[in-house]
Structure 1
Amino acid sequence: MEFPLSPTADVTHPVRMQLEAYNAKDIDGFMRWWADDCLYFAFPDTLLAQGAEAIRERHVERFREPDLEGRLLHRLSVGNMVIDHETVRRTFPEGVGEVDVVCIYEIENGRIAKAWFKLGEKRLLER
């Protein structure tokens, strides 16, 4: 299924919607915004998942984390590229913490075709 973008369409829409679904831990809503043949990288070029099914598998377990939340700090877009700066709260083996992430998305036909993620150092939070 394609979601064609008109020349005036908001290229950030698929990114915004997948982040909302991520925070709701809604795997089906999340996957709706990823192309069937999408590529998912650790920046700059380490392929972590190829295809929607592999991305789904990566996130099913993550969505079970009780403290999972992506907080958008800044978003910009240039052409069909969307760049987010987020702070993501995770449940790490050693406890709850946060990590800063730069997320780069390439949008084609209204869906995420490629994505790159650059993670900062994780910070454990005091409880």
Structure 2
Amino acid sequence: MTSDTHCSASIEFPVQQQLHAYNARDVDSFMQWWANDCEYYEFPARLLARGAAEIRRRHIARFKEPNLFGRLIHRTVVGNIVVDEERVTRTFPEGPGEVDVLAIYEITDGKITKAWFKMGSPRLFN
């Protein structure tokens, strides 16, 4: 393993761990990968939550969805940025379905410090 590969693996580690916790709907495990002063955005710059407490509150509600699951399609790591393409199964107000999500994470000292999410259009299961 080259030092670049090792660095890339360590940068993506918190992102992978929070995805596992997301799929387990385990808010405590999920939050351990987020910095206390993290910021959570709708891409490109609409702040949705600032700080771990606000992100926790958002996800306590989200984790109540019975079919919630994020499937990783592709991951790219450049420097301290991890970009995930995901397909997320959710329960929308109109019913169950899925949505494509582009998630961009900034990692500092093993924690997610900023994240941006670009959502596609939900597709309902019929």
Range class of TM-score, shorter chain: over 0.9
Shift of 1:26: 0.4
Give the alignment's TM-score, normalised by structure 1: 0.92
Q: How many residues align?
A: 121
**Hey, which of these two has a bigger chunk of helix by percent?**
2
Corresponding residue for residue 90 of structure 1: 90
2:93 corresponds to 1:102:
no
CA distance in 1, matches of 2:93, 2:78: 37
4+ residue segments displaced more than 4 Å: none
CA distance in 2, matches of 1:91, 1:124: 9
Give the alignment's TM-score, normalised by structure 2: 0.93
Letter in 2 for 1:114: K
Corresponding residue for residue 52 of structure 1: 52
Shift of 1:119: 0.2
CA distance in 2, matches of 1:112, 1:70: 17
CA distance in 1, matches of 2:11, 2:57: 26
Corresponding residue for residue 79 of structure 1: 79
Corresponding residue for residue 43 of structure 1: 43
Letter in 2 for 1:119: M
- Unaligned segments of structure 1, at least 5 residues: 1-5
Q: Aligned-residue CA RMSD in angstroms? A: 1.2
2:21 corresponds to 1:18:
no
